[in-house]
Homo-oligomer: A and B are copies of this chain.
Amino acid sequence: MAEQRITPRSEDYAQWYQDVITAAELAEPAQVVKGCMVIRPHGFAIWEKMQADLDRRFKETGHQNASFPLLIPMSFIQKEAEHVEGFAPELAVVTHAGGKELEEPYVIRPTSETIIGHFFSRWIDSWRDLPLLINQWGNVMRWELRTRMFLRTGEFLWQEGHTAHASHEEAREEVARMHDVYADFSREMMSMPVVKGVKTATERFAGALETRTIEAMMQDGKALQAGTSHDLGQNFGKAFDVTFQNDRGEREFVWQTSWGMSTRQVGALIMTHSDDQGLVLPPRLAPIHVAIVPIYRKDEEKVAVLEAAGRLAQELRDDGLTVKVDDREGIKPGAKYYEWERKGVPLRIELGPRDLAEGAAVGKRRIAPENAEMKGGKEKLPLEGLGVRVGAVLDEFQETLFARALAFREANTLQVDDWDAFQAVFTGQESRFVWAHWDGTAETEKAIKDATKATIRCIPLPGEGPEAEPGQCVKTGQPSAQRVLFARNY
């Protein structure tokens, strides 16, 4: 448990990111399995919190979980033309099993539209079987050349929703509903502001008619795509012959959607809130809400302080909080403080004999609120009614993080109408969010990307960006109906 140095963000943001992960014991590169990672208990506990909340939201919107095979026949991947083009270069292939070479190789699922499409065709017969609303929690594999923990790994954990509907309108409602679920989750649970929008044709999911996305700004000004919801139209229905008899007795192809969110969100969480001291977590996703550090010198102090710490912890646990009493021997309080800071515990409570005598404890939030008059960032917490106060502190902290992230994003977002100014934003490694006009062509999109490495993150939904007003493309001067969001991205 040697103390881990964390490279300052100003020095090297990418290294800082890795250092935070290592120092908080969230994960580590597997090394012996190319591009893959091990998610350690503290990192996995964050993912479990995300899963629990998302799963609740999925079930409240009528979805049921199921489990489909990990392996997909190679021929399935090839049935939808755009899909195979998108995923073929990244496939891991099983050629041998049970000591023999297989007649047809299997791929490890990079995503499950194809195999689930196949089963939908077996399950759906009539309009009465629709809508079919399925979600799967599992692992997928995409053989990537450049990997980064949580953000891009060969194997990752995720959920993938797959639904079938009787009309395009219904399917589009589902796409929008799950898009909303992802945005609400990001804002409410992760304290992470997102822009909701639609992907351009270039950035769309391989095989979809439309991809909706939520885009978040990381602390280096880059965008991170945090969740996508796809209108698949009838593309997979046609490829896998998923038909139903409508209420007029005619056979039609179903309209499908898919939507996914992954362990990538843990990376987004890190890069939204953490600092040079290590991980910062919003309370709603923190595996440990409160770390109590007992402080004592003499033995009789120790007994009284530990007893009080235990009582306090129990009171907070009764309120549904997860509390760690750090009563380890042989480690100084200061070292304990640093450790819980590195691990992102939202609130630390220090408890010593003097505090006890005063009927109070000392609280230290992982991040002090703006404008707070707190000596050294610390606040006195009366033991009387402590549970209620701690609950309020954690709620405030959840909001502080959102407000801070939103202020950062606003300070780093601009509207640009001039090509030179646009290029100037994206010099060196810099990135910001830039709202600019675009002529709607893939050629211009590519030209801008080639020149600046900035991509169109999304065409914003109403209310998600500047008010839609016509203008001229920042690159070509051609007419444009509204501004779109540009940024470099993860």
Contacts and interface: CB of A to CB of B under 8 A. Distances in A.
B97 A92 contact: yes
Interface stretch (A30-38, A226-234, A300-308): A30-38
A281 interface: no
Contacts of A129: 1
Contact of A67 (B39, B64, B128): B39
A47 B67 CA distance: 10
Interface string A88-111: 111111111111000001101000
Given A94-B92, A143-B97, A155-B70, A65 B40 contact: no
A71 interface: yes
Interface residues of A, number: 57
A67 B92 contact: no
Contact of A108 (B28, B38, B47, B94): B94
B30 A69 contact: yes
A314 interface: no
A310 interface: no
Copies in the complex: 2
A385 to B, nearest CB: 29
A134 interface: yes
Contact of A72 (B33, B71, B94): B33
A198 B214 CA distance: 53
A70 B118 contact: no
A144 B391 CA distance: 52
Contact of A92 (B1, B28, B96, B143): B96
Given A90-B98, A94-B94, A97-B93, A41 B66 contact: yes
A338 interface: no
Contacts of A89: 98-99
A32 B73 contact: yes
A17 B451 CA distance: 63
A44 interface: yes
Interface string A309-338: 000000000000000000000000000000
A264 to B, nearest CB: 14
A307 B72 CA distance: 47
Interface string A121-137: 01000001100001000
A419 interface: no
A44 B72 contact: no
A33 B155 contact: no
Contacts of A94: 92-95, 108
Nearest to A105: B96
A426 interface: no
Contacts of A388: none
9 contacts: A32-B76, A33-B115, A34-B97, A41-B65, A41-B134, A45-B64, A92-B98, A93-B97, A98-B143
| Interchain residue pairs A-B with the least CB separation, the first 5 | A41-B64, A98-B143, A39-B67, A92-B97, A93-B96
